[in-house]
Structure 1
Amino acid sequence: MNIFSKDEALTRLSLANPVHFLALGFGSGLAAKAPGTFGTLAAIPLYLIMAPLSLPWYLALTLLSVIAGFYICDKAAKDMGVHDHGAIVWDEIAGLLITMIAAPAGWVWLLVGFALFRFFDIIKPWPIRWLDAKVKGGFGIMIDDVLAGGFALACLQGLAYYLG
C-alpha cells in the first residue's frame, strides 16, 4: 500500500527545495489521503517547541508563519501549476498555531484545538468558504486556514474559560 500521492503536479516540487519542503509541511502533505490532517499533525511538534515561549514570542512566530506562508504557498502553487493543491499544507500548520494561541497546557487542550481547527477547516463556515472560493494566490491559500484557526481559537478559549 502506497501512502504517497501519485499526483503529476507533485513531480514539479522537490523536498530539497526549502520553500517546497515547508509548503508540503515537511513532507506530510504528500499523504495520499487527508493531507490537510497530516499537515495539521505536522504542526504539533512545532507547536510543542513554541508553547513554552512567552505570549509575545509565540505571537511573533505565529505571525511570521502566516506572513511567510503567503509567499511559501504562492511559490509552491505556481511551481506546481495548481492553485491550492491539497499537498500544500503550510496553511494548516499556521492555522493550528493560531488555534493554540494562549491555549491551556496539556494534551487534552492540544487534542481539542486540533479537532476544532480541523472541523472549521473542513466545514468552512461563512466567510471561510466564500474567501476560499474567491481569493487566489498565496493569500487565498492561507486566508481560509487563518480564519479557521481564528474560529477554532475563539472556541478553544471559550471552552477554557467555561471549563477551566
Structure 2
Amino acid sequence: MLAVILLIGTWASTRAEIVYDKKDPGCVIIDELFGQWICILFFTSMPIWYLAAAFALFRFFDILKPWPIKWAENRFKDGLGVMLDDGVAGFYALGCLHLMHFFLSMN
C-alpha cells in the first residue's frame, strides 16, 4: 500500500507543482499521509495516545527537517522529493516511537 501511495503521490505532487507553479504546494497532503503511515508501520495495535505521539513526532521532524530529510527534498526532483522528505521524516518518527515503546515497556 505504501508503494502505491508513493507512486500516486509522486504523480499528484508533480502535477500540483506544475498547476500551482509552486514547489510543494500546501494543498497537496498525500505526502503527509505517506509519512504518517510510515510512522505507525509495525504497530498493529496501540493505545490511542500512540497515534497522538506519532503525529507529534512526525510533524516535529517534518518541520525541523534534520539531515537527510532536507537532502531528500532537494536531491530528488518534483513530486518524488515532496514524497520522500515526508517518508524520511516518517522513518525518524517511527524510530522514536519504537524507542519510546521499548522504554515504556521495560517494567
**If the TM-score is normalised by the length of the shorter chain, which range does it land in?**
0.7 to 0.9
Per the alignment, residue 64 of structure 1 pairs with 4
C-alpha offsets along residues 108-130 of structure 1, whole Å, 9 cap, x if unaligned? 10001000000000000011112
Per the alignment, residue 22 of structure 1 pairs with none
1:66 Cα deviation from its structure 2 partner: 1.7
Corresponding residue SS for 1:152: helix
Give the TM-score, by structure 1 length: 0.59
Greater relative CO, 1 or 2 (CA 8 Å, sep 6+)? 2
Q: Aligned pairs, how many?
A: 104
Runs of 4+ in structure 1 over 6 Å off: none
Aligned partners of 1:162, 1:63: CA distance in 2, in Å? 31
1:163 Cα deviation from its structure 2 partner: 1.1
1:92 Cα deviation from its structure 2 partner: 0.7
Aligned partners of 1:133, 1:87: CA distance in 2, in Å? 20
Question: Which residues of structure 2 form unaligned runs of 5+?
Answer: none
Corresponding residue SS for 1:133: helix
Per the alignment, residue 97 of structure 1 pairs with 37
Question: Which residues of structure 1 form unaligned runs of 5+?
Answer: 1-60
Per the alignment, residue 26 of structure 1 pairs with none
1:71 Cα deviation from its structure 2 partner: 0.9
1:101 Cα deviation from its structure 2 partner: 0.6
CA contact (8 A) 1:98 1:153 kept: yes
Corresponding residue SS for 1:83: coil
Per the alignment, residue 66 of structure 2 pairs with 125
RMSD: 1.4
Per the alignment, residue 143 of structure 1 pairs with 84
Give the TM-score, by structure 2 length: 0.87
Aligned partners of 2:64, 2:38: CA distance in 1, in Å? 18
Aligned partners of 1:134, 1:102: CA distance in 2, in Å? 28
